[in-house]
Every structure is written in structure tokens, then in C-alpha cells.
Structure 1
């Protein structure tokens, strides 16, 4: 096999079933070591969660798949404040040169986390008791419910010692993060300079099960605590740190995915413009979408940054709702608030992306006219995907929208519930006040035909 060309050896390596096999291949000789190192180390993850820990069950807009047996991942457990030490280790191993995808969700200790945790305990004290499974065994229901309520009331006292210890450790880590912020930036710039093949960055918040960190806690999933405080997730802060490091390293990427993004925290700087310039694929997962409301002002920062990606962008995904994309925020929203031309104060002129081929939208109530304006303005648009999208404009529902799609669109997919036509003109603009639309409900002479598939329904143009 020594006579085989490197391209064929790389293809063979791609079929090896597990990380262990790739590791074994690296021990054959120098050529095989170089070939096996590419798939083995092309993904590097700096995560606050150990690579052998499964993600908390309720994290994120999509469930993070568990790694198959034998694939432990290329992950390094990292605390944000100690990131320079980890970068030194990675650079010393010379593995960064193989990295194509960099996932960034280090352990980040935010201020007021434990105050929010105690607030959650207080809120739970007043929540109704689920009687299913109480099993009073002869007692009346009232006595069983009272025992549950008493258990809730005494929980802060039972956990007091653990919470105090956690707060002490937390404050130390916060101080370390602040002290090392500049060193973290320098370290990331050094790391990116070594990543000659870097193409994709994925930014996530650190989500953890507090019981693993502090066994004295009865339950503590950080996502449910962080989501209570507006702008508490650090993803946008991470994004700006990474942008500054990429700028300092003069490194560009093609794909960007940001989870739990908070638009109001992003700034228009040379670094963020550098980050967006040349992007071919952008996915943004949002929690708060007030900046897209019909009555809101334009999100000028995002408008300017998306302009940097205009010549190159091919795929765009906007998924709102965070962990709950199936529960869109009330009120009509317009994509033109962040994808409208900045020269138009009304935001009614959509940005044109000459190479944009795919758009995915999820978890939003959208006004039909600006949505249609944006889609029709894209000259190369071929495919669309919708999930949990509700159209708030009366007499401009899904049949109207899909029949007016540009002729360049070859097909569109429905991967989640859709709705339109508010039930009551005087009622709230909310998903549960709208009519559910079944994708097959198209006009008899529609130019689209439905093709049911295992995951959703695909529509292709009728011949």
C-alpha cells in the first residue's frame, strides 16, 4: 500500500470505523500518520463539558447527538479563564494544523448565576404540584401535595452549604476570567495562526448539569437558569473574542454557527466585519427576537455585517426560540430588520446575495410581504426549509407565499408545523391564535407537488 497515492489513502482512512482505528493507522509509518491525522484531528472542540459526558437532555434548538461508540471526539475540556494554558498544549502537539472545524463552548462562569438559581427555587415553590405519580398509599391527596410543597420550601436550606461553596468557587473563576481576558485573546490569535485549514467555527454557550459539579444540589440544568435572564448566554461575547483573534491572526473562515445569539450585544467593529467577510454559510440561533419586530428599528449592526457577506453567502439559517423553536414569540416580525438595505430607513429594500442558494427559517411569526420581498430578491435561490413558521399577514398565507416564490426556487421543505391566517382579527398575534396549515393544502392548479418523506414534506415544481 506504500505505492498508493495520498488521495486514495485518505479515502481509505475516511472509511475506518472508529477513532481507535485511525490512531492505529498513525503508528504504521510517517505517511500513514499524516493521512490519519487529518480526519482524526480536523475537528477541535474547546468545551466546558468532558467529552465522555452526554449533553443535558433539554439543551438547544436541536438535540446534540451522542457520539457513536468508539468515537470519543477531538475535544479538550477547557475553562475560559485557563484557555491560554490549553492553547499552549495544543500548539505544542502541532495538531492545530489539521483543524477544519473549531467548536467553542468553554466553561464560562457568569455573574449572578447563583442568584438566578435561588430565584428559580423560589419560583418552583409556587408552581402547582403534578398529581400524576404521587401515589399517596392511603393518604389523601392534600397530604401528599403538602409533603411535596414542604420539600420544595426546605430545599434552599438543604442546599445552603453547597450553594455557598459554589458561589465562592464561582467568584474565583469570574475574577480569573477578567484578569486573563487579554491573554485569552492573544492565545486564540496564536491558535488561529496555526490553523491553516480552518473553515468553520461553531459558538455555543456552556451548558452543564450542576449536580455533576456540586453533588449536593438536587437538580440544576444551567440552560433553564440562564434563559431566565435576558442576554445571559455568553455566545455573542465569545463571538466577538473569536472575531478579534481571527482579525489579529489574519485568518478568515467560510462557515459560522452561533447558538443562543443575542443581537443587541454585537458590535460593528473591524474585527466583526473581518469575521463576516467571505462567509459562505451562516446559521444563527436566536432566543430574543424583539429586534425583528415589525415596529422595531433596523438592527443596523447586523445589516452592516451581513453586507460584508453579500458577495459570498450561499446558505443562511435563522432559527429562533432557543430550546423552544416550536413556541414562536408573539407579534409579527420582519427579516428585513437585519437583512434590509441600510440606505433605506424603512428597511423595505432587501439585501441581495448573488450566490445565496439555501434559506432555512424556524421558530418565528413573520409578516408575509417582507419575507416574500427578501426571497424574491435573491437571484440564485434554489431551496428553502421552514419549521414552526407562522405568517401573520391576513389574506397572505402559505398558499399565497409559495405560489409567489421566485422561479429560481426548485423546491422547499416543511420540517415542522406551519400556520397562518389569524383566527381573530382582534386577537393577539400568536402562534396559538392562528390556523395550522397542512402542507398539502395547495391550490388545485398549484405549481408545486408534495413529496412526503420520512422527515417532513418536500415540495418540487410540478412538471
Structure 2
């Protein structure tokens, strides 16, 4: 190994799967310590999640605060404390090696606790699915079951009163934090500018929401998963706000990135500005995960803000992922939707052409077939597709016709979730649960595609 050139050793070290492996490599000798140094600090995360807490949703993986295969360091931080943390990180002289920056600081949104109380109120009217009683002891008239259900309902009715003191204390903390966030916005902007000036190797930014378990933060609450509460209020996730403040910092420092990923993205909150145009210019990879997609509805006007921003990425974009439904991708919005609302020219919705686009991923959407096909066929270098929880709402234009119309450049595509088409009712808005399920292996042998099944995924390769 000592005889290998440094470039090859760097390549070998890049395949090490965890931070622990890189730390062990650094202990071999000085040469290996130098080689493992850079990848050890290529990822930086500013997260509101405490390292001894796991988010309530999705189920946690013990001991893994970073995604599998990623190495780096995570710094627990509140939004208002970003200036202090930035100074601390800059003092370590490691930021110059950061390639991936994950941003999900603790951000205290308004009305969170009012929404929590609303959730408790709603639960009082929900059916009782589980009760604690022994069926063998049930009376002939079912009175034992009724008594058990009543105990559950009484527990729900008294819960707001039981938790009142804790909620009041949490609200007081929230009010103070919200005021601090508003007062410190300019200081946060300045801190992020200072950070990005040093990040010479930065290529990727991933923006997430702070996901926490309120019952861990405030013992005594029965259950308080932040994601479920935030999802009640449209646009309550701060990720689009985070996107704009990071865009301002990149613009001020003339720093460009290649890869942008935004979770819980709310397009209606996004502004077309010099900073956001600067952010999108030169992007090679874009992934937007969103809950609400009404702006994509067939009857909706074109969403000009995103159109203009995608135009900035037109010459360079290589992969595009648009995933809807949040953590419930199998429950897309009702009605037909079209990607051309954000990916076309006006007035005739001519699809935007991305000359370098090779990969498209779509999930959690009900799509009209003709505009989808028009967009795909307009891309000259499109090679791969991935779809999950996609339902086609156009009558007589289901999956076989869509697959038949794929551009000749497509070499393969993957299905990683349920698909549907052929709406049951001709009238009314399309809905995923009123469509026929389509099985990918229903494609006939004459389709020109060879299918391969791997666990819950189906891969198709074009037959030459």
C-alpha cells in the first residue's frame, strides 16, 4: 500500500463507509493521516437536533445522525445562535474542506403550540382504534368494550388540562425565541456570509426542517412529534425561508454550488430575486420535496417564479427530482397536475429544454399524461427515469402509452413505488384511490423493455 501513488490512495479512502473508519485510517501513519483528513471533514451540518435525541419521524436509526455512507461533523445549533457557532467553526480552520452543507437549525415557528392544542382537540373526535381490555371478560351486551372506549375518550378529553402547565411554559419559551429570531436576522445573514467566504470547496447544500420530539424537550407531554403538528399549517416549515437566506449569503460572496436539495419546500413562499437566480445558476442537481402541489394543477396559472429560476439552471442541469407528499408520498393531492406549470415557456407551454439533463425522478403526483410526455420528449440527453406513487389522470393515456412514448435516448427506468392510471370516474377531480393500479410487469414482451425485480423495485432496460 505504501508504494501506491497518493491519488490512488485518496480514491481508496473515499470508499470508506463511516467516520470511525476514517479516524482509524488517520492513526496508521502521517501519510494516511493526511490522506484521510480531507474526506473526514467534507460534510458540515448545522442541526437543531440534539445528538442524544432522535427525531420521532421517521423511526430513528440508533447512533446514525448522518446518512449512511456520509462522513462529517454535526453541530447542534439554534437559528439565533448561528453567529456564535459560525465563529466557533471558523476557529477550527476546517470549513475550507466542506463540500456538503446540511442546514436544519432549531427554528421556533409561530403558533406551534396553538396547533398542538388543535391536534389534541381533533383527537377527541377521532375513532378509538385500540383499547385496553380483555375480550374474554367481555359481557354479552358489550358493556366492557364500551367502558374501555369511554376510558380512552375521557383520557383524551382531560389531556389538555393535564398538560396545561407544561404547554404554558413551552409557549413562553417559544415567544422569547421567536422575538430573538426576528432581532438577529441581520446578524445571521452576516454570519452565513462569513462562513461561505471560507467554503472554497462547497458544492452541495441540503435544507431540511428541524424535526424534534416535543415530549423529549418537555417531559410530561404525552406525544408531540413536530412534523405531524407542522403539517397541519400550510407553509409552516421554514425551509423556503432558509433557502432564501442561504441564497443571499451565496450571492454576497459570489459563491456557486452544483447540488441543491430542499425538503418541505413551499413554492408559494419563494421569491424571484438576484440572490435566488444566483443560487440556481450553474446547478447540476436539483431535488425539491414538497407537501402541497396546487400550483401544478392543470387549471392553475404558470408559476413564473420557478419558471425563471429553472431557466437559470437550464444550461447545466443534469438531474431533476420533484417529490410530493412529504412523508406520505402515497397520498398525492386531488386533481391532475402538469410539470409544465414550472418547466415551460409561455404562452403555449413549450417545455424548457435542458441540454445536459440525464435523470428525472418523480414521486407523489397525479399527472396529466400529454404534458408529462411533452416534457420528457423535449430533453435531448435524457437517459434514466425513476417513478414512485405516480398516477396518470388522462383517460386512454395510461402507463403503456406513456412508456411507448419515452424518448429514444432513455436507456432505463425504475419503479420504486405504486403506480396507477385509468380514473374510475369521468367527472370530478382525479384521486389516487379512484384509479386502477398498474403493475409494471404487465408490459408485454413486445414493448422493447426488459424487466428485473429487486426487492420492492422494478428496473427496466431497453432491449436493443
TM-score by length of 2: 0.93
Deviation at 1:39, TM superposition (A): 1.6
**Kept after mapping to 2: 8 A contact 1:37/1:98:** no
**Kept after mapping to 1: 8 A contact 2:17/2:68:** no
Q: Describe the shift of the 1:152–1:283 C-alpha distance in structure 2 as closer, same or farther (beyond 3 A).
A: same
Deviation per residue, 1:281-338 (Å, 9 max, x gap): 0000010000000000010000000000000000000000011111111000000000
Equivalent in the alignment of 1:81: 80
**Kept after mapping to 2: 8 A contact 1:252/1:275:** yes
Rounded to whole Å, the distance in 2 between the matches of 1:299 and 1:256 is 20
**Kept after mapping to 2: 8 A contact 1:59/1:207:** no
1:311 to 308, 315, 318: 315
Equivalent in the alignment of 1:156: 160
Rounded to whole Å, the distance in 2 between the matches of 1:391 and 1:65 is 37
Rounded to whole Å, the distance in 2 between the matches of 1:114 and 1:232 is 13
Deviation at 1:460, TM superposition (A): 1.5
Deviation at 1:369, TM superposition (A): 0.6
1:367 partnered with 2:371: no
Q: 3-state SS of the aligned residue for 1:396?
A: coil
Gaps of 5+ in 2: none
Deviation at 1:89, TM superposition (A): 0.6
Deviation at 1:9, TM superposition (A): 3.5
Deviation at 1:217, TM superposition (A): 0.7
Equivalent in the alignment of 1:210: 214
Q: 3-state SS of the aligned residue for 2:39?
A: helix
Equivalent in the alignment of 1:48: 48
Deviation per residue, 1:329-370 (Å, 9 max, x gap): 1000000000011xx134x21000000000000000000010
Equivalent in the alignment of 1:284: 288
Deviation at 1:109, TM superposition (A): 0.1
Rounded to whole Å, the distance in 1 between the matches of 2:446 and 2:20 is 56
Q: 3-state SS of the aligned residue for 2:171?
A: helix
Q: Describe the shift of the 1:281–1:461 C-alpha distance in structure 2 as closer, same or farther (beyond 3 A).
A: same
Deviation at 1:26, TM superposition (A): 4.3
Rounded to whole Å, the distance in 1 between the matches of 2:306 and 2:70 is 38
Q: Describe the shift of the 1:462–1:86 C-alpha distance in structure 2 as closer, same or farther (beyond 3 A).
A: same
Deviation at 1:72, TM superposition (A): 8.3
1:112 partnered with 2:114: no
Deviation at 1:67, TM superposition (A): 5.3
Equivalent in the alignment of 2:151: 147
Q: 3-state SS of the aligned residue for 2:447?
A: coil
Worse-superposed segment, 132-141 or 157-166: 132-141
Rounded to whole Å, the distance in 1 between the matches of 2:156 and 2:366 is 37
1:384 partnered with 2:385: yes
Deviation per residue, 1:98-127 (Å, 9 max, x gap): 111100000000001000000000001111
**Kept after mapping to 1: 8 A contact 2:42/2:72:** no
Rounded to whole Å, the distance in 2 between the matches of 1:16 and 1:283 is 26
1:260 partnered with 2:260: no
Q: 3-state SS of the aligned residue for 1:140?
A: helix
Worse-superposed segment, 205-214 or 300-309: 205-214
Rounded to whole Å, the distance in 1 between the matches of 2:105 and 2:294 is 28
**Kept after mapping to 2: 8 A contact 1:124/1:152:** yes
Gaps of 5+ in 1: none
Q: Describe the shift of the 1:99–1:66 C-alpha distance in structure 2 as closer, same or farther (beyond 3 A).
A: closer
Q: 3-state SS of the aligned residue for 2:103?
A: strand
1:92 partnered with 2:91: yes
Q: Describe the shift of the 1:72–1:153 C-alpha distance in structure 2 as closer, same or farther (beyond 3 A).
A: farther
Q: Describe the shift of the 1:367–1:70 C-alpha distance in structure 2 as closer, same or farther (beyond 3 A).
A: closer
Deviation per residue, 1:17-43 (Å, 9 max, x gap): 643443355467765444222121111
Equivalent in the alignment of 2:246: 242
Rounded to whole Å, the distance in 2 between the matches of 1:269 and 1:72 is 34
Deviation at 1:372, TM superposition (A): 0.4
Q: Describe the shift of the 1:193–1:381 C-alpha distance in structure 2 as closer, same or farther (beyond 3 A).
A: same
The count of corresponding residues between Structure 1 and Structure 2 is: 458
Equivalent in the alignment of 2:223: 219
Q: 3-state SS of the aligned residue for 1:201?
A: strand
Q: Describe the shift of the 1:91–1:455 C-alpha distance in structure 2 as closer, same or farther (beyond 3 A).
A: same
Rounded to whole Å, the distance in 2 between the matches of 1:156 and 1:279 is 48
**Kept after mapping to 2: 8 A contact 1:207/1:222:** yes
Deviation at 1:427, TM superposition (A): 4.8
**Kept after mapping to 1: 8 A contact 2:207/2:243:** yes
Q: 3-state SS of the aligned residue for 1:445?
A: helix
1:345 to 324, 332, 347: 347
Deviation per residue, 1:178-216 (Å, 9 max, x gap): 111011011111111111111110000101000111012
